[in-house]
């Protein structure tokens, strides 16, 4: 049988990894797919740039539309990123009746509803395993392996760059910006790294995971998003003294009243497996009603781990070339006409436990004022640490762990605490999850 011709858009970190893995494992891949899979065309901004990949036999162009409009190209792999030119190219590919594989979470999270509808009309597939958690096959797992379950919640470390930064800060005391630079050099970070450190990339991924887990439309704008830029070395140390690790988590929970979608730094008991996932590694815990808790672990970013997911999608697409569109696995796991519009809960209605770090003047009565405010808001304290001032007479850090409370009560308590004259800085609030 003739090999399947692939047009590749983007020859950067993931594009390069995809060329390498497809060439290196060509015969194994062909044995699995039933046909060879060959990159015949590729686009990059600078086609004269020196690359450490073997581009023999690939027709290069700087015009992505020349690839998606070429009648010889049967499957388009989009690895440019962003949701401007990438969206136009993917729309054009679908209009041309070509299947698409992409690693682009921003594109899927923001425009997936539109793209999947068009793909369904045109009878083509959009595969996006690499868009979430790099090399971990979490999309396939949720869509197929756990299809018998009602998913109750999932929580994951789903940004490799952020986890790399927090791990290096904790284990080696390294500086945030220095580690971020290294993550960029290693090809982990997004083109705009604020997407990684401000939680936007994780929010894109959580949008996708939640849609597939719960059978809801993609709703990126409703994800509560906080990044890791405010985490200090002190917070990491205090959390450790209390028996916790700080991890940047994406959390989606299904309640009777609606769905929680939130991305933020989280204290996790250090005994949990996921609390010990370090470096660029990602991990996702999925709790299904039948299977119970399951944990999926692997590299969350990088050339070949991500290429592993891109190539697996290509194999799936090739295997499905001869199936009727209505017999394929639905893009969002549930049949397109069976998605439900469950409400996404506003953050004020989310209940959790909290870590608070206060900076206060070192004088009598401060702690009494703080605990009075918390008790008036109905907030129970589980633990308090007061750190000696570095220099006698200077401000002190007070660290509190609370019991579960609604976010709106905590918002009110924090506003009142910050208004105290003796509190000299904004309160640092982190959420705590036991994931039990």
Residues annotated as catalytic are: 205
Q: What count of other Cβ atoms lies within 10 Å of the Cβ of residue 174?
A: 15
Contact flag: residue 304 with ligand HSE (CB under 6 A):
no
Tokens of 174: 């390294």
Interface with ligand HSE, residue 134, by CB under 6 A: yes
If one asks whether residue 187 binds ligand NDP (CB under 6 A), the answer comes out as yes
> CB 188 → ligand NDP: shortest distance, Å?
5
Query: Cβ-count burial of 380 within 10 angstroms (0-12 exposed, 13-18 middle, 19+ buried)?
Result: exposed
Considering only 22, 73, 79, 317, the residue that binds ligand NDP (CB under 6 A) is 79
For the window 325-364, what string marks contact with ligand NDP as x by the rule CB under 6 A? ----------------------------------------
Please identify, among the stretches 159-167, 319-327, 336-344, 414-422, the one whose residues bind ligand HSE according to the rule CB under 6 A: 159-167
On the CB side of 428, CA atoms within 13 Å amount to 23
Residue 75 tokens, joined: 């499957």
Q: Which CB sits closer to ligand HSE, 190 or 235?
A: 190
106 binds ligand HSE per the rule CB under 6 A: no
Q: How many CB atoms lie within 10 A of CB 271?
A: 11
Q: Which of 230, 172, 242, 176 is nearest to 199 (CA)?
A: 230
Would you say 228 or 374 has its CB closer to ligand HSE?
228
Which residues 20-79 are close enough to bind ligand HSE by CB under 6 A? none
Bridge partners, 356 (sequence order): 400, 429
283 neighbors 296 (Cβ within 8 angstroms): yes
| Residue 159 touches ligand HSE, criterion: CB under 6 A | yes
Please, are residues 77 and 9 in contact by the beta-carbon 8 Å criterion? yes
Give the residue among 254, 253, 292, 246 at the shortest CA–CA distance from 272: 246
Q: Does 16 bind ligand HSE (CB under 6 A)?
A: no
By the rule CB under 6 A, 56 interacts with ligand NDP: no
Could you give the CA distance from residue 59 to residue 252 in angstroms, rounded to a whole number? 43
Binding-site ranges for ligand HSE (CB under 6 A): 134, 159-161, 188-190, 196, 201, 300-301
Binding-site ranges for ligand NDP (CB under 6 A): 9-15, 43-46, 49, 64, 79-81, 85, 103-105, 130, 134, 187-188, 190-191, 301-302, 306
């Amino acid at each position: 049988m003739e090999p399947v011709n692939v047009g590749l858009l983007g020859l950067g970190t993931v594009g390069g990894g995809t060329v390498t893995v497809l060439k290196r494992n060509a015969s194994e891949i062909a044995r699995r797919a039933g046909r060879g899979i060959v990159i015949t065309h590729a686009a990059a901004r600078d086609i004269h740039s020196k690359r450490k990949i073997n581009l023999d036999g690939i027709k290069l162009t700087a015009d992505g539309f020349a690839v998606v409009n070429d009648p010889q190209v049967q499957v388009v792999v989009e690895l440019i990123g962003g949701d401007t030119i990438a969206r136009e190219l993917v729309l054009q590919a679908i209009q041309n009746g070509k299947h698409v594989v992409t690693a682009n979470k921003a594109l899927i999270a923001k425009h997936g509803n539109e793209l999947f509808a068009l793909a369904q009309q045109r009878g083509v597939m959009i595969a996006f395993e690499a868009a979430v958690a790099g090399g971990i096959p979490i999309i396939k797992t949720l869509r197929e392996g756990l299809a018998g379950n009602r998913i109750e919640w999932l929580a994951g470390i789903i940004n490799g760059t952020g986890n790399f930064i927090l791990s290096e800060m904790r284990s080696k005391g390294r500086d945030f910006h220095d580690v971020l630079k290294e993550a960029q050099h290693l090809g982990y970070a997004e083109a705009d790294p604020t997407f990684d450190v401000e939680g936007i990339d994780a929010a894109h991924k959580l949008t996708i995971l939640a849609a597939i887990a719960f059978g809801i439309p993609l709703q990126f704008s409703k994800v509560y998003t906080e990044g890791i830029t405010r985490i200090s070395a002190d917070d990491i140390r205090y959390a450790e003294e209390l028996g916790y690790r700080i991890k940047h988590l994406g959390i989606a929970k299904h309640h009777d009243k609606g769905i929680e979608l939130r991305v933020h730094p989280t204290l996790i008991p250090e005994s949990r497996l996921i609390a010990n996932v370090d470096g660029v590694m990602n991990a996702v815990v999925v709790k299904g009603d039948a299977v119970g808790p399951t944990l999926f672990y692997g590299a969350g970013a990088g050339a070949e781990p991500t290429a592993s997911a891109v190539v697996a999608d290509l194999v799936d697409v090739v295997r499905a070339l001869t199936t009727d569109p209505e017999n394929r696995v639905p893009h969002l796991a549930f049949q397109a006409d069976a998605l439900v519009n469950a409400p996404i809960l506003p953050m004020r209605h989310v209940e959790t436990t909290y870590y608070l770090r206060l900076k206060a003047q070192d004088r009598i009565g401060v702690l009494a004022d703080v605990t009075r405010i918390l008790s008036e808001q109905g907030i129970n304290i589980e633990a308090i640490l007061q750190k000696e001032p570095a220099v006698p007479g200077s401000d002190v850090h007070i660290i509190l762990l609370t019991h579960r409370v609604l976010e709106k009560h905590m918002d009110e308590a924090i506003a009142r605490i910050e208004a105290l004259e003796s509190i000299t800085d904004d309160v640092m609030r982190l959420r705590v999850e036991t994931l039990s």
